[in-house]
Each structure stands twice: as C-alpha cells, then as structure tokens.
Structure 1
C-alpha cells in the first residue's frame, strides 16, 4: 500500500497539482518565520559577551550551513531513488535542488567569513570545517556542471546521481570535523537534543530562522520542480492543460 502511494505521488500530474497547493502555504510560513526571526536576531537580540554584535550573523549563517548539508543529503537520496527505481521525478528533484544547495553553501561561507574577520582576525583560514564546506560547494558545482554538460538526459541523470551519492560522505565530515580534528571553528551551541548553551533571548530567534530557511527551501524547490516538469513534459496532454490554465489565470488577474 505504501509503495503504491509513493508511485502515485511520483506521477508528474499528481505531483504538479500537489506542489501547486503547497507552495503558497510554504511561502507564507517561511516569510513569517524569516521576517520575525531575522528582525529579532539582527536587531533586538542581545550581543554576545565575548563576540559582541558580530554574533548576529549566526542567525543567517547557522540556518544556511544546516540547509546546505541537508540539501546535499536530499540529492544523495534522490540519486539512489533515480538509480534504483528509475523514478524521473527524483532526477528532477536532484536537478532543481542542486542550485539552491549551492546558494546556501555560498551564503554560509560568505557569512562565515564576515563572522570570522572580527573573531579570528582573518576572512579565511584553512580550518577543517571551512575546508569541508568549500568542498561541498565544489560538489554542488560538479552536480550542476554534469547536468548541463551531458546532453543525453538519462546519462546526465545517472552521472549526477552517482556524484551525489559519492559526495554525501563529505556531510558527516563537515558535521564532526570540529570533534575529529583540532579546529578554530566553535562547536555547536544549538542542537535539537541538548539544552541550548545560550540564553533564550538569543536562541529563540535562531529557532525561528532555521525552520524558516527549510520552509523557504521547500517552497523554492517545489516551484522549480513544477517549472522543470512542464519543460520536460511539455508535449503531454496534462502539461498543455496546466499551461493553458496558468495562462488563463494570468489573463483574468
């Protein structure tokens, strides 16, 4: 029964319709959480007793870094589904998620550099956490480049899936690098399983921006997947019907 439900969800017309219903709700929830969390964290949260106001960048840096790693795990899972069960929707998810993950990785690296300059006295150091995050950005770039360089869609899907699966080994390295090696990067101060190491007025904004980033990711991913579905399935009857409905909706607005 569960597998039948899974294959029904993977049907392009069903997924397109479901994603269309979810996008507005995800977008509204993400906008609310990000607006409240970022304003609270960047303006009203107290400064850190050691890092001062530079700690405020963590309200953007931490969610971006978490999402960058989670997104690559999604790529690997989609790669497995694409290779084993030959579900085309998995390849579409991988193709559409990779640029978002690359953007989040770049944002994490940039905000980390902004935080590192006043904290460490340098924009960049060859720290284990930073280096493994840079490798993650290269992996994302590799997946994107493979998808664009190989003209045959099936061959491109297979190559991207293999790279995503192989590259996922870097994610636990990122997570545990501060434990395995001597590193400048501080350990986690906010986890789901332990009491936060910071006062509530500092971690509560982070508790809003983290799910806000994930909901934003879900919203953008579904929007990109809907567009890619129409591009690939443009000759099918359901896609042409969906396009006509979208054009009619725009004309009536």
Structure 2
C-alpha cells in the first residue's frame, strides 16, 4: 500500500495547496448536484401515494442525516489519527468538522419533526432513532464546548479526540435502531447495496441530493480547515505568503 498520500497530510502547507486546487471543483459539483436534485425532487418527482407531497422533505432530511452520521465517524477517525500519529491536521479536521456535523444533525432533527407531524401525528416521539439522533447532537455540542473550554491546544486535541472516539458507539445505534427496537421511524429508504424501495424517478433525485450534501460538507470543511491552518501556521513563511496573496 502506498502511504505517501497519508504522510503528505502531515504537512499543513501541502494540504493548503492541494485543497485550494480541489475547492473550486468540489464547489461546482455541490452547486450542480444540489440545484438539479432540489428542482427534480420538489417539482418533478411524483407524489407519494401514502404521504402525498409531505414526503418531499426527505430530499433535505435524509441527506442531512447521512452527512451528520458520516461526519461523526470522520471525527472518530481523526481522533485516532491525532492520538496515534500526532498529526496536526487531524486535530484541525476534528475541530472544523464538529460545527458542520452539529448543523447537519440539527437540520435532520428539525426536518424529521416537520415530517413526523403529518406522518405520525406528532412532532416528536422518544423512540430509539429520534433519541439517538438527539444524543448525536449533544455529542457534537460536547466536542465543540470541550475544545473551547481547554486553553492548551494539545490537551484540547486529546480530550476532544477521546470524546469523539467514545461517542462513535452511537452511530450503529442510530443506524440499526429501527431494526433492534419497535419505533415509529420507517426503515431506510436509501441503501447503496440494495434495490431502491421507491420508484427511480423519486430515488434518483434523492441520490443527487445525498451526493450534493456530501460535496457541500466537503466544501465547508476545506474552507474552515484552510482558515484554521493559516491561523495555526501564521508564523511560518509559507503562511505569511499565502495571507499576503489573500490580502
């Protein structure tokens, strides 16, 4: 296995340079995917025979929930990398991704509540899926608060990494909660390894929205990491030169 890419991530300058090349292309992909997916899903996808037009909120709810969970897994991986290999960018990624994950979790919870009223007759129910998603939001808040409460950068990085790793046990609970317990939440409508449970004209715009949300997450993360990298490396020559170009 070629580990050169992994080792290059240990260089803040290399990350800043390569992310600057990727960012415009990922941003274009995000804009195109979200535009096409939104228009297709909201205006051209057929109405659901049971839920009517209220089902269309899945084009926001499902992608947000996907990204919220994936982001936390990424935090746990960054935590392991930071603790084991002491890689600077791992802590940067963890710090910068946590607020994005928190927002995605919040969006998933809000849209799920809006969807739940006409579907279940209530905005909120303390079932396994909803409760575990709320716990995910609190875990994000905990990581953000812990990182801000500790003044020492090294101690803060270690503490947030440990919390991210411990909290990742909640992700399989979220995923399999509808199978393990009796819950109001319906089973997954979007599975990569199985045939879609909905017509292709409803499923395909959902796929575009999921990809668009991941691209949007990537854009947001790269932008935040670039700013944080410059802030931390401000005394180095390359960072000063980069700041001069921005000015």
TM over 0.5: yes
Matched, 1:159 2:159: yes
SS state at 1:25 partner: helix
Matched, 1:133 2:133: yes
Matched, 1:145 2:113: no
SS state at 1:182 partner: coil
For residue 103 of structure 1, what is the aligned residue in structure 2?
Answer: 103
Q: In the TM superposition, what is the alpha-carbon distance from 1:60 to its structure 2 partner?
A: 0.5
Where do residues 1-20 of structure 1 align in structure 2 (5 Å cutoff)?
Answer: 2-20=2-20
Q: In the TM superposition, what is the alpha-carbon distance from 1:13 to its structure 2 partner?
A: 0.5
Unmatched runs of 5 consecutive residues or more in structure 1: 248-253
For residue 226 of structure 1, what is the aligned residue in structure 2?
Answer: 226
Give aligned pairs, total.
247
Moved over 6 A (4+): none
Unmatched runs of 5 consecutive residues or more in structure 2: none
Q: TM-score, normalised by structure 2?
A: 0.98
Give distance in 2, aligned partners of 1:245 and 1:157.
30
For residue 192 of structure 1, what is the aligned residue in structure 2?
Answer: 192
Give distance in 2, aligned partners of 1:99 and 1:240.
27
Deviations 1:112-149 (A, max 9, x none): 00100101111101010000000000000000000100
For residue 70 of structure 2, what is the aligned residue in structure 1?
Answer: 70
CA RMSD of aligned residues (A): 0.9
Q: In the TM superposition, what is the alpha-carbon distance from 1:7 to its structure 2 partner?
A: 1.6
Q: Is the 8 A contact 2:9 2:89 kept in 1?
A: no
Give distance in 1, aligned partners of 2:97 and 2:55.
29
Q: In the TM superposition, what is the alpha-carbon distance from 1:39 to its structure 2 partner?
A: 1.1
For residue 83 of structure 2, what is the aligned residue in structure 1?
Answer: 83
For residue 175 of structure 2, what is the aligned residue in structure 1?
Answer: 175
Q: TM-score, normalised by structure 1?
A: 0.96
